[in-house]
Structure 1
Amino acid sequence: MTTTSIPPRTPPVDRAWSGWRTVLVVMGALLALVGVTLFAVGGVGLWAQHQRDGDGYFTAGPERVSTSTYALSAPGLDIGGVGPDAFYTDDFLGKVRIETKSTSGTPVFIGIGPAADVAAYLKGVSHDEVADFDVDPFHLTTTARPGDKPAAPPADQTFWVASGTETLNWTARGGDWSVVFMNADGSQKVDAELSVSGTLPAVEGITIGALIGAALLLLIGSAVVVSTITTRRTFSD
């Protein structure tokens, strides 16, 4: 009877750590780091979702705005950008609500209109244009435009795409717009508490996308690192 001896299997040996392995580990770690960052973004988005009011609006303010002239305008509100207008308007801003509470007793008119038409209406009218603003603390930087009183009250104009006294509601759409605040009777010295709100529907999509992306990148990054390290050991023949 002939017996065949099976040679003993050699124990696992370490393969040399190569430069490619280092690159893979670094890439995996970077992917995981980006995933952690996206998780943070998603967490902020989840927190923001709970800051909506009962009507689904995010609100900034109230803050006091005033001018000794006949109007305060924010010209050149260019809504659009590279890509489909729907993303930058309906999907991003959604519905806009602007509210004012007069501190002088005179109701305040709010209007949004095409920038060219608003500029024509305010040409020769004493008013302040918003050049810049800070959020915290709230501060407007304005440029004074000299002139006289308006020829007619703002509500008499027909070019407004949205307007109201004390409250304005508007569904944002692409275009070059100007926002105007005036006393409803066209008188001088506008003084009011201002609040601006928006539904910002894109926030929900960004939050979901960030969380899904974070989970995928963490899984991929972790898998790359773990597989690269654990496959360093192998059996020799």
Structure 2
Amino acid sequence: MTTPVQAPPTVREWSGWRTVLVVLGSLLIILGVGAVVGGGAGLWFHQQRDNAGYYTAGPERFTTDTAALSVPSLDVNVGGTEAFSAENMLGRARIRIESVNSGTPLFIGIGPADEVAKYLNGVGHDELSDIDTSPFKATYTSRPGGAPTSLPGSHSFWVASDSGTGARTLDQKVADGNWTVLIMNADGSLGIDANISAGATLPAVLPISVIALVAGGILVLAGIALVVLPITTRRTVTR
């Protein structure tokens, strides 16, 4: 009696489409993990707000021997639809200043960059050009000139302003435009020594973080499916 010879199992070759699926799945996993990590970092950052809902940096000490300290040409141009407007994406901005010499009244204002530039024309002042955070160091661009010919608070072009002794605060909705923040002694005298902190509500942080987490999870799951599918179907055994 002849013993039947069993045919060897048929092994399908690793075809091109399987390779494409594995490569595509791997890319989706990498992108998904990056999105999940970014979303998680965003949620952690969201928890760092203060009690008023602001993400805040500072206070730090800023000094100048001139008549004014400016943060020039803050160009805010989010554009797009109302859902992606500056107010909805960036929320409110808050700047707090307090003189190191408690009896010195300070002025802080934010206004259109061109109007503030006209006011500062011929006035000696320092423009904040860079900030290093570790350790803290502020770098200024010095603009030569003399004392102002008018008090900063006497002008009407300011979108928001505050002046006086003690802590002074600007709390303003962020709007599209080109703005300059100006800090001076309220009487226009030379020499500023103040502690300054800045913050914003950034309402877009939470929804963007959640979207990143969900989208990242979907990408990871889709990537795993694309990698596993060709591996599990690679070999078929026929008898």
TM over 0.5: yes
What is the aligned partner in structure 1 of residue 117 from structure 2?
Answer: 119
Gap regions ≥5 residues in structure 1? 1-9
Which of residues 170, 176, 179 in structure 1 aligns to 2:178?
Answer: 176
Q: Judge which range, 143-152 or 70-79, deviates more.
A: 143-152
How much has 1:143 moved relative to structure 2?
Answer: 1.3
Q: Judge which range, 226-235 or 82-91, deviates more.
A: 82-91
What is the TM-score when the length of structure 2 is the normalising length? 0.89
What amino acid is aligned across from residue 222 of structure 2 in structure 1?
I
How much has 1:114 moved relative to structure 2?
Answer: 0.3
Instruction: Spell out, residue by residue over 1:131-171, the C-alpha distance to the aligned partner (whole angstroms, 9 max, x if none).
Output: 22223333222111111111121111100111113111110
Which of residues 136, 145, 148 in structure 1 aligns to 2:146?
Answer: 148
Q: Judge which range, 41-50 or 16-25, deviates more.
A: 16-25
Contact 2:49-2:55 within 8 A present in 1 as well: yes
CA RMSD of aligned residues (A): 2.0
Report the Cα distance in structure 1 between the residues aligned to 2:9 and 2:208, rounded to whole angstroms.
48
Contact 1:94-1:172 within 8 A present in 2 as well: yes
What is the aligned partner in structure 1 of residue 155 from structure 2?
Answer: 157
What amino acid is aligned across from residue 210 of structure 1 in structure 2?
A
Contact 1:45-1:207 within 8 A present in 2 as well: yes
Report the Cα distance in structure 1 between the residues aligned to 2:19 and 2:62, rounded to whole angstroms.
58
What is the TM-score when the length of structure 1 is the normalising length? 0.90
SS in 2 for 1:99: strand
Contact 1:126-1:147 within 8 A present in 2 as well: yes
How much has 1:12 moved relative to structure 2?
Answer: 6.1
What is the aligned partner in structure 1 of residue 4 from structure 2?
Answer: none
User: For residues 31 and 113 of structure 1, do their structure 2 counterparts lie closer, same or farther at Cα, with a shift above 3 Å needed?
Assistant: same
User: For residues 12 and 42 of structure 1, do their structure 2 counterparts lie closer, same or farther at Cα, with a shift above 3 Å needed?
Assistant: farther
What amino acid is aligned across from residue 87 of structure 2 in structure 1?
D
Contact 1:98-1:167 within 8 A present in 2 as well: yes
Instruction: Spell out, residue by residue over 1:189-214, the C-alpha distance to the aligned partner (whole angstroms, 9 max, x if none).
Output: 01101100110111112101110111
Note if 1:93 corresponds to 2:90: yes
Q: Percent identity?
A: 52
Gap regions ≥5 residues in structure 2? 1-6
Q: Judge which range, 94-103 or 79-88, deviates more.
A: 79-88
Note if 1:227 corresponds to 2:225: no
What is the aligned partner in structure 1 of residue 189 from structure 2?
Answer: 187
Report the Cα distance in structure 2 between the residues aligned to 1:137 and 1:91, rounded to whole angstroms.
33
